[in-house]
Chain A
Amino acid sequence: MSVFGPVVKIHPVVLASISDSYERRNEGASRVIGTLLGTIDKHSIEVTNCFSVPHNESEDEVAVDMEFAKNMYELHKRVSPTEVIIGWYATGFDITEHSVLIHEYYSREATNPIHLTVDTALQSGKMNIRAYVSAQMGVPGKTVGVMFTPLTVKYIHYDTERIGMDLLQRTRLATTRTKGLTSDLSQVGGAAARIQDMLTTVLAYIEDVLSGKVTADNSVGRFLMDLVNKVPTISAEDFENMLNSNINDLLMVTYLSNLTQAQIALNEKLVLEIKMLPVIYLFSLALP
C-alpha cells in the first residue's frame, strides 16, 4: 500500500477556525470535530476552509450530526464551488477508536480523506498539528485494521494573508492582545525600523567575523555581496533626475487632490448656503 501520501498544505484561516470552534465547544465535550474543505492536487492537498460539526461522544458510542455536515457543505459550496470535502479534523492529542468510525464516515464522502489533529489542550506544551491518512493493515484474509499514517504538514498562505497575519502576529506582543490599525507614514516608518533591525543583526555578525570570534561562512559572504550590490550604481546626476521627477509627480498629484477637495467643499457651501442661486460656477479641472 502506498502510504506516503500527499503533502498537506494548510492555510492559517483553517487553524484559527479550529481554535475558535474549540473555544466555543459545548459543555462536557472534550473535543470538537469538523469537516475540512479544500482542493486536491496531484501531490498535495490544500486545505482552505473548514466548519465544525456538532457531535456527541461518550464512552461507547459516538454520534455525528451528518445532516448538518451535508447542509453546511452545500452552503459553503455555493460560495466557493471549487472546494471539496477532503477530510476532517479533531482537536485533542490522541486518535481514539471513535476516530476510526468517524473516519469511515468521511471516507464515504471523499476519496481517501485526511485526518487532522490539532492539540488545543497543549498537552505537550505546544500546539501540535498533525495530519494522517488511513491505511489498511493486518493480515489479509483475517481481521483487517486501520492504521493512521502521518503526513507532512506545511503552512502556506496568500500574499495578502501573510500581510494580515503580520498584523495579527503583532497582537500577541501587546498585553491586552489588541492592536489598532496604523496608517500613513507610521507604516513606512515601521517597515523601515524592521529593516534597520535586520541590518544591525547583520552588522553585528560582520563585526564578529572581522574580529575573529566567528568563522566566516562563504555562503553568508555571498549573500552579503548580493546585498551590497543590490543598491544600483547610478551616476549621481541620473539619480537626482529620477528622484526629482518622481517627487514632482507625487507633489503634483497631492496638489491636484487638495485642489479637488477644496473645490467640492466650495461647491457644497454654495449649494447649501445660498438660497436664490443666480449662477454657479462650473468647475472644470484639466487633468494631464
Chain B
Amino acid sequence: MIRAIRSARTQCEERGVIQRECAAIRAQFRQVDNGGARSHNLAKLLYVHMLGYPAHFGQMECVRMIASPRYSEKRVGYLGAMMLLDEKQDASLLITNSIKNDLAHSNQYVQSLALCTLACMGSAEMCRDLAPEIDRLLRASNSYIKKKAALCAVHIVRKVHDLGELFAPAARSLLAEKNHGQLILTFSVCYNVFVPCVSQTVPDLVQIMKGLVISGYSPEHDVAGISDPFLQVRILRLLRILGRHNETASDAMNDLLAQVATNTDSTKTVGNAVLYETVLTVLDIKSESGLRVLAVNILGRFLLNNDRNIRYIAMTSLQRIVGTDHNAVQRHRGTIVDCLKDQDASVKRRALELSLALVSASNIRTMMKELLLFLSSCPPELRAQAASGIFHAAERYAPSQRWHIDTILHVLTTAGGDVRDETVPNLIQLITNTSELHCYTVHKLYRALLTDISQPSLVQVACWCIGEYGDLLLKGECQETEPSQVTEDDALDALETVLQSHMSSPATRGFALTATMKLSTRITENVDRIRSIVSIYGSCMDVELQQRAVEYNALFRKYDHMRAAVLERMPVIEKNSSGHTNGETAGDAVKEIQPAAVKQTGPLLPQQPANQVHPPTVPVYEKDGVSLTLICEKTSDSGMTVTLTASNSTDSDISVFTLQAAVPKSVQLHMKAPSGDFLPARGAAKVTQMVALNNPNKVNLKMRIRISYNTSQGSAYQDTVQIDSFPGL
C-alpha cells in the first residue's frame, strides 16, 4: 500500500488512494476476525496517520488488538495506542485493564510493551491504578524489566508526585546494581525524583565515576574512546544536583571533577559533551576556586574551537556565569566579539547577549564600535534586541554626553525602525538636559533629516529639535561641527517635506506641524509661510492634525500676543514626568486660556464616569435670601467637578447673577457655562454652574467664589465667600 501512496503523483491522487484504503480498512475492522490481516491494516492506518490524515476510527481497533493474545497484534496495537491515543481520549481508559493483564504476563517482551506504552502516554488515573504493579516489577529479578519499570516509575512520579514515596525503597536497592544498563536507569530515576534519599551516596557515585573514567576499554559501552558517555553525563548531572547547596558533597567531588576535566579526550563531540557537563557541574556546586578557573579555561578553549556547536554552548555557559565571574569572562571578550561576525544566526544571538553583558565602563568605546558595526549588518530579528541593549549600555556607561548623543543618533539612522517607542521621549529628555550641545545636536539632526526621512523615530526627534532650537540652527555657526548656512526657507522646506511625505506616520506629522509652529517665534521673515502651512492642515483628514492646525490658527489670529509666551523654549524635563513629552503642551496651552484665573497649562485628565453615590449638598453661602450650595464629585485621580447651585428665597427677583471662582496656584480651573443668570423670587428656579477642577499636586483645595447680582431694585451686589473644605473629596 505504501508503494501505491508514494506513486501517487499529485496531492489529489494521493488523497484518492488513501480514501480508498481507509474505506477498505474500515470495512475490515468491522469484520470480527480475519486472521493476520488485522495488524497489517492497523499498520497501514498508522502510516496514513503519519502523513497527516485523520485516523481516529482506528482507536477502538487499537484497544481490541492490545487485548488480543497474539504478540504481533499486541505490538502493533500498542504502537497504535501510543500514536493515536493520548491522555485526553476516553479510549485510553479502556486499555488500562489490558495493560494490567499484560504487566502480569509471563513473557517479558509483552510486559515491556505494556511498560513502554504506560511510560509514553499514561494518564494520571492510569498511573495511579497501575503503580503497585510497577512497584512489584521494580523488585523483580529480571534486569530487562527492571529497567523499563524504573523509567515507567519516573514517568508516573512526574505525573502524580505523591507516588514518589511508593517507589523510594525499590529505588534505593537499585543503587547497588553493577550493570551499566541498570545504573543509568537508577540515576535517571534518582535525579528526577528522589534526590533527598540519595545524598549520602555521593562517595559511591564518585567511585563509580572513577571506575568509568579510568577503567579499560569496554566495547559494549564505548563511544569513540569514551566509556559510556551517557552514563558519565548522568552521574555528573546527579552530582551537580547533590552538590548544589551542599559543602560536604562538593568537597567530595572536587578531585573527581578535576580528573574528569583533565583526562577526557576532547577531539570528538562525545568528549566535549562530557567536558561540558563537567564544566556545568563545577560552576553550579560550591567548588574551590582552582577548579572554577579550570572550568572557565575549558570554556575558553571551547570558544576557540572551530566547531560552531562548541562555540555556541561555550557562550551559553559563559552567559550563566558572567554575573558571578565577570573578570574571568572578560578575558575572552575578544573572541566573543569576533563571534558577532559569525554567519550563523544562533551563534550571533548568543554572542550579542554575551557582549551586552560584558560592556563595562572601561571598554565602552571599543565595544560600542563593534556593536554598532554589528547593528548595521545583523539579521532583522535581532535588531530590536541589539538596539535596546545598546541604549542601555550607552545610558549606563556613556563617557561623555556628546558621545552618548552621537551613539543614539547612529543607532537611529541604522535601525530606526526597530527601536522601541519610548526611545523618542528618552532621547528628547536627554537632549534638553545637555544644554551646551543644543547647537551641535540640532545641526546634526538637521543634516540627518536631509539625507533620510524614512526612519520614524529619527524624524520625530529631528523635527522636535528643529522646532525647539531653530534659532540655533539658523545662526549658522557652532563650535563642534563645521558651520553650514541654513536659511529659514531650508528649515521650513525640510519640515514641509516631512509633513507631505507618505512615509510619515500621523504622529510624525504631528511633530512636524508643532515644530513648524514653534519656528514662527524663532524666525523673522517667513511667518506668513508658516501661517499658510498651518491653515492648510486646518482641513486635513486626520483629526489629530486638524485639531492642532485649528488651534495653531487660533493662536495666530486671536491670541497672537500670547504666541511668543506659549511657544517659548521648553524647560528641562525631569525623567518620568507624565504628560510632558513631545510638543503637545504647546498645543494644549490654547485650550486652557480662560477668563477665570488660570495659573498653569497642562492637559486635563480624562473624565471618568462619576460615582453613583450621591454626594452631599453643602450650603456654602447664605445671605440676604441668596443661598449657594455646593456638590462635589470626584471624577478622576486628581480631578473633580463642583456643582454650584444658587437659589433665591427673597420676594424679589434677582438678575445678572454671576459667579466667579479662584483657586490656589497649582490647581486648574475650568468654569462651564451657567444655566442662566436669573433667579426668580421664592426659589421658583435655581441656577447651576459646573466647575471642573484639576489638582495634580494634591494641594489643599480651597476656592474663593465671588457672587455678584442685581436686585430687582437695580442695585448691584457683590460678595465673596471662601470654601476651605470640600466634602466628598
Whether A and B are associated in the same complex: the answer reads: no
Spell out A's residues near B (CB within 8 Å).
Answer: none
